[in-house]
Amino acid sequence: MLPPRILRRLVLAPLVIVVTVAMLVTLPLWLVVAAAASMRLPPPQRRGPRFVWFGVAWLTLESLVLIACLWLWVAGGARRQERHYGLVRWFLSRVYAAAARIFRLAVDVEGPAGGSAAPSGPVIVLSRHAGPGDSFLLIHHLLVACDRRPRIVMKAALQYDPMLDVVINRLPNAFVPRRSGRRRTVGEIRRLAATMDGRDALVIFPEGANFTPRRRRLAIRRLEAKGLTEEAGRARGLEHLLPPRPNGALAAIAACPAADVVFVAHTGLDDLITPGDVWRRLPRAARVTATWWLVPAAEVPRGREEGIGWLYDNWERIDAWVSARRLPAREAGPPAGRH
């Protein structure tokens, strides 16, 4: 059960700052421990010290954001959205710069695909969900490259992270308890979509979770158990994606009929499914390739059945795009550690 907000503010937020200071003071020790822990990996893959550097960078940036949030609260600006969007933009830009330097991360964005033009009004972003950090990379791109103000519905447990707890709760987002059911999640999506203006972007991951082969099998079984044979059949044709859960996307479209819809596909780190995969198999130079295409509001289907079919059409398009870019890697042989 999530602690009360006052307890999170008085305990968890200061704890992050204390841990950050402790990590900085004992950094040489942590680097030695991380190097020793990664000795069992092949020499090119001894990435333990890099994880330590990135963790310290993350904690330091998070602590600075928390201090800035405290200053805004004292100064009476706790509810000024633009300042908090600026904080999020600053944090994600610095995290991205740290990842680019430490992990040699590069993100290549192709598109707009199909001759789409950049949207000028509110948008609903429907993205694939796979690989570590894809949601952070998407929000970073929306804030920095697109000058958008993202809105997102997240699991309530993420409020254990003090920075997310403080900043995201001061912006038009929503945290939903795990056991609250999909009805509440859809209700929050509808609420956020209904109040968007021309700079807002509502981000939805219709799969509901990061892709794994096991989740794909379970999702297909759930569709079959509900008698949704057509959707189950189309889901079996998806090799790299979970079938989309339509209720949230369709609720957002109905609540903001003026919004264009953007579909986002990406690949590059999707084989890193577990923390163990990240530890053992994160490449020395990490590269993510992404693309997107836009469906103008006037072309978005409004009926439920038509909308579900349209979602699957675009999900199949994402799946085909991912397959085309993963084929060269397959021909080169399976990744190390996979059998």
pLDDT per position as a tens digit, 269-312 = 988 888 888 887 888 888 999 999 999 999 999 999 999 999 99
Where are the chain's structural domains?
5-331
10-residue mean pLDDT series, the chain (339 residues): 90 96 96 86 74 96 96 81 94 96 92 60 95 91 93 93 94 86 89 95 94 94 96 96 96 97 94 84 88 95 96 98 77 41
Name all contacts of 172-180 with Cβ < 8 Å and 24+ positions apart.
Answer: 172/81, 172/200, 177/2, 180/156
Burial of 143 (0-12, 13-18, 19+ CB in 10 A): buried
What pLDDT was estimated at residue 333?
A: 46
pLDDT attached to residue 120: 79
pLDDT single digits (tens) 78-108: 668 899 999 999 999 999 999 999 999 999 9
8 A C-beta contact, residue 93 and residue 144: yes
At 273 the pLDDT is 83
- Give the residue from 198, 207, 321 showing the smallest Cα distance to 266: 321
d(CA 212, CA 209): 9
